A = this chain, B = another copy of it.
């Protein structure tokens, strides 16, 4: 397919910010409300015009703000593909990701799905699974951080939706920009890799709330409050692999743990608000600890009520997952919600595409999940259905592709 006639996406400049603010109650069904059908140009806002750089110390999509749309896709290398084909694939994918993230079309034929849109904060992030190193005869380069995660009692993992040689995370603030990138990445896989599994997710739209953008999940709970902050002195060392690590090709990289966590919403929603808050240990309305304050107030873990019982129950999720209860373990959680309609059992197939980032899963995800596994009050309401662990190399320099330092070592 030729894209001769498809010009670069028209970034029509700064057309002013997003119209009127404040509560606007339009006349229902009024003609004015459908003015868009009369070809009134709409304004390109920061939603569309924001672009994120592909090249840099770290790959994009790790510390960038949550986008409103996400796709996760895992590939397996095909039977004939080895290290050479993997290197060529990573070169193709990196060149493609750089173009798309700049709001341009795919170099090798473009579907046109994202025409007219700005880059819309598109990020494309690449990772390698444990099996990738077998397939490319690079087992000596495989970090021990990719050792299989231990089993947990709350999981019922579907192998067909777990693992994978290669993992790609796509995020964007526009659904068509995200879908366009997904199709382009799939096409560019060519004969080298086949899709193993694919999942879709979402977050709140920019501008839908004036709250600090701590995400709310589909249980209605504020989620991510205790995420490490870039301003904290140990942020870099918790999240990113240091330059002096044993595997130099992972310098500036991070390990992603990916879990499809189904929420048993029909059961959860039967609980009273009070019971839900005891399960979590925080107030639903604003995420503040049950011991008071605001969302960012420290949990008063020892505080007791008039009845002498702990205000934040022993098995409350916020208590068990608190970094101070886990030797300071910390991971950067950057999830998407998912909703795939109604499952075969008649309950909503919805929940969290949990993605967390850390320099070492054994000091991040694993100890926290082990602890949750032993007595989290939230456990009866969730089920881990799929799992992945991926080594996400540092960001490429200009002219370099992701994983080059591994594949051309």
Interface of A is mostly: loop
| Contact pick for A207, options B18, B35, B211, B216, CB 8 Å | B18
Name which residue of chain B comes closest to A20, CB basis.
B46
B175 and A68 contact, CB distance less than 8 A: yes
| Contact pick for A203, options B18, B44, B175, CB 8 Å | B175
Contacts A208-B118, A208-B174, A227-B37 given; indicate if A213 touches B42 (C-beta within 8 A): yes
Contacts A33-B63, A176-B216 given; indicate if A3 touches B209 (C-beta within 8 A): no
A27 interface hit (Cβ, 8 Å): yes
A10 cross-chain contacts in B, Cβ below 8 A = 210-211
B54 and A337 contact, CB distance less than 8 A: no
A274 cross-chain contacts in B, Cβ below 8 A = 2
A107 interface hit (Cβ, 8 Å): no
Tally A residues with Cβ within 8 Å of B: 133
By CB atoms of chain B within 10 A, which of A56, A120, A341, A350 has the most?
A: A341
Report copies per complex.
2
A116 interface hit (Cβ, 8 Å): yes
- Per-residue CB contact flags for chain A residues 191-203 toward chain B (1 = under 8 Å, else 0) read 0000101111011
The minimal Cβ–Cβ distance linking A191 to chain B, given in whole angstroms, is 15
B31 and A18 contact, CB distance less than 8 A: no
B231 and A28 contact, CB distance less than 8 A: no
The residues of A with any CB-CB pair to B shorter than 8 Å are 1-7, 10-31, 33-60, 62-66, 68-69, 103, 111-113, 115-120, 173-177, 179, 183, 187, 195, 197-200, 202-214, 216, 218-221, 224, 227, 229-231, 235, 265, 269-274, 276, 283-285, 295-296, 337, 339-342, 346, 348, 350, 395
Known: A5-B273, A28-B55, A176-B216. 8 other contacts (CB 8 A): A28-B395, A29-B62, A38-B230, A39-B295, A43-B207, A117-B204, A117-B209, A200-B340
Task: Provide 7 A-B residue pairs closer than 8 Å at the C-beta atoms, listed in order of the A residue.
Answer: A10-B211, A15-B21, A25-B52, A28-B53, A31-B231, A197-B342, A207-B207
